[in-house]
């Protein structure tokens, strides 16, 4: 099916929840027809390539029904929407003050709906979901983290380019810090933040997340009140790029000498930092703090380690093959 020509592609306001979307076919082709509902979260199922193939596959060779709903994402969206309509029950006074400030009608700089919703979702999962009895979302997230992240609590927020991810990070830092200052014993919150950027250029742009930076987004984007900004100085923020996590050599040795001493074994790590030493070097600004919130910018660049060749072969054998006629 040919892609439709859209004269006016903007059919929603960025400041309110989307209420319409363009209908697409199962292969992602835009039809031009408008559905008067918010587009549900969906993904395209990747199809494993054949072990031997003569040329590049085209879209129509992947077969039908590649488009699948993100069921848990859609359920969380609905739960957050209901919670919003009820007036945000089961949250702290500090959190309520922030939500009201972010959505005040007299704001000079209005925040986008996607920014508000992402912050709401983080707040809902941390403060309200369990008290409301919405354990399904928490159980799914906990289970996925146990399977893929070694039990480390991780959440991802998918936002479009230009929608203000840096502002969202500032909102999350403010929410965490101000709650921790208000209640130091509450383990749900922290004042320590490690922000990981994919490169030096983006790392430098993220300086606006330091509360005392001259161009601080907390002030520039009106994320907190002047009184809250004073309390926000309790935050310890470190912005670095992922290259900092590469393990350094502990002793400077000439290349040839090193090769001789290690008998040309690239896996010999006697001169290299241990993982624990690397973490202490990168995170020394946090001292002995344990409750550190990690914000990973451009998280779509996070890749799982490549599986062993044998496991990869088994996975490919289990996947359906695209066919041609």
Tens-place pLDDT, residues 266-292: 665 666 778 888 888 888 999 988 899
Q: Please give the full DSSP string across 195-233, using - where no structure is assigned.
A: EEESSHHHHHHGGGGSTTSTT-HHHHTT-S-HHHHHHHT
Closest CA to 27 of 57, 65, 56: 65
Q: Evaluate whether 63 touches 47 at the Cβ level (below 8 Å).
A: yes
106-151 pLDDT per residue, tens: 999 999 999 999 999 999 999 999 999 999 999 999 999 999 888 8
What is the pLDDT confidence band of residue 244, given thresholds at 50, 70 and 90?
Answer: confident
Q: CB under 8 Å to 176, separation ≥6 — which residues?
A: 189, 190, 191, 193, 293
The strand pair at 236-241 and 192-197 is best described as: parallel
65-96 pLDDT per residue, tens: 567 888 999 999 999 999 999 999 999 999 99
Looking at every residue in the chain, the average pLDDT score rounds to: 83
Q: CB under 8 Å to 109, separation ≥6 — which residues?
A: 221, 222
What is the pLDDT confidence band of residue 321, given thresholds at 50, 70 and 90?
Answer: very low
Question: What is the rounded CA–CA span in Å between residue 4 and residue 243?
Answer: 43
What is the reported pTM? 0.82
Range of the domain at 264: 71-300
Would 51 be classed as within a structural domain?
no
Q: Residue 62: is its pLDDT beyond 50?
A: no
Would 294 be classed as within a structural domain?
yes
Q: Is 65 helix (H, G, I), strand (E, B) or coil?
A: coil
Would 8 be classed as within a structural domain?
no
Would 198 be classed as within a structural domain?
yes
Q: Evaluate whether 221 touches 167 at the Cβ level (below 8 Å).
A: yes
Residue 5 pLDDT: 80
Would 265 be classed as within a structural domain?
yes
Would 59 be classed as within a structural domain?
no
If one counts the domains in the chain, the total is 1
Would 222 be classed as within a structural domain?
yes
């Amino acid at each position: 099916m040919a892609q439709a020509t859209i004269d006016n592609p903007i059919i929603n306001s960025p400041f309110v929840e989307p209420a319409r979307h363009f209908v697409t076919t199962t292969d992602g082709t835009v039809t031009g027809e408008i559905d008067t509902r918010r587009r549900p979260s969906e993904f395209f199922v990747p199809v494993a390539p054949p072990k031997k193939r003569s040329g590049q596959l085209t879209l129509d060779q992947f077969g039908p029904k590649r488009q699948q709903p993100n069921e848990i994402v859609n359920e969380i969206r609905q739960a957050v929407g209901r919670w919003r309509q009820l007036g945000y029950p089961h949250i702290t006074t500090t959190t309520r003050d922030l939500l009201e400030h972010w959505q005040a009608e007299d704001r000079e700089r209005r925040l986008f709906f996607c920014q508000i919703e992402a912050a709401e979702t983080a707040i809902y999962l941390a403060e309200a979901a369990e008290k409301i009895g919405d354990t399904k979302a928490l159980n799914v997230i906990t289970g996925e983290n146990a399977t893929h992240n070694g039990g480390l609590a991780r959440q991802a927020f998918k936002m479009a380019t230009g929608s203000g991810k840096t502002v969202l990070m500032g909102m999350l830092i403010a929410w965490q810090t101000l709650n921790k200052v208000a209640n130091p014993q509450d383990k749900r919150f922290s004042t320590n933040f490690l922000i990981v950027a994919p490169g030096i250029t983006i790392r430098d742009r993220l300086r606006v997340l330091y509360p005392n930076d001259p161009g601080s987004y907390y002030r520039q984007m009106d994320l907190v009140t002047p009184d809250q900004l004073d309390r926000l100085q309790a935050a310890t923020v470190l912005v670095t790029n992922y290259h900092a996590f590469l393990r350094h050599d502990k002793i400077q040795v000439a290349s040839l000498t090193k090769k001789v001493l290690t008998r040309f074994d690239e896996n010999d790590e006697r001169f290299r930092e241990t993982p624990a030493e690397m973490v202490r070097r990168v995170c020394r600004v946090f001292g002995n703090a344990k409750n550190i919130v990690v914000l990973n910018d451009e998280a779509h660049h996070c890749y799982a380690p490549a599986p062993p060749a044998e496991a990869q072969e088994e996975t490919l054998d289990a996947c359906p093959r695209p066919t041609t006629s």
